[in-house]
Amino acid sequence: MTRDETDSRIRALIEPFNKKGARVDDATSFAGDLEFDSLTVMDFVAAIEDEFDIIISMNQQAEIENYGQLVDAVCKLQG
């Protein structure tokens, strides 16, 4: 899957969690811009894991702060 394809699938998944309808680009941060609390993060991560059939462990999540980093991580995890 190309980075663009991965990006658009994640973009679709993020929508129901993006309550404020914030604009999403690579620099958008989950805690700051999207105001995800820890429960939202857990649900959102579970949705991505199931969509791509991957594991994003909490250790890996700790390295991901913004949207671009997430897309890169998902690309890498798909191998």
Partner 1 sequence: MNDLFSKFDALIQQRETLLAGGVEDPFNLVMERVLSPTQAVCNGRDTILLGTYNYMGMTFDPDVIAAGKKALDDFGSGTTGSRVLNGTYQGHREVEAALCEFYAMDHAMVFSTGYQANLGIISTIAGKGDYIILDIDSHASIWDACKMGDAEVVPFKHNDLEAMERRLKRVPEGAGILVVLEGVYSMLGDVAPLAEMVAIAKKHGAMVLVDEAHSMGFIGEHGRGVAEDQGVLDQVDFVIGTFSKSVGTVGGFCVSNHPKFEIMRLVCRPYVFTASLPPSVVATAATSIRKLMHGSNKRAHLWENSRRLHGGLQALGFQLGTQEPQSAIVAVIMPNLERGAAMWEALLKEGLYVNLARPPATPANMTLLRCSLCAEHSAEQVEEILGMFERAGKAVGII
Min separation Cβ 22 and partner 1, Å: 21
Q: What are the respective helix, strand and coil percentages of the chain, to the nearest 5?
A: 55, 5, 40
Q: What are phi and psi of 58, to 5 degrees?
A: -65, -30
Min separation Cβ 48 and partner 1, Å: 12
Site map for partner 1, 29-58, x if CB under 8 A? ---------xx--x---x--xx--xxx-xx
Min separation Cβ 71 and partner 1, Å: 19
Q: Which is nearer to partner 1, 23 or 55 (CB)?
A: 55
Residue the block writes with tokens 């679709």: 12
- Note whether 48 and 13 are within 8 A (CB): yes
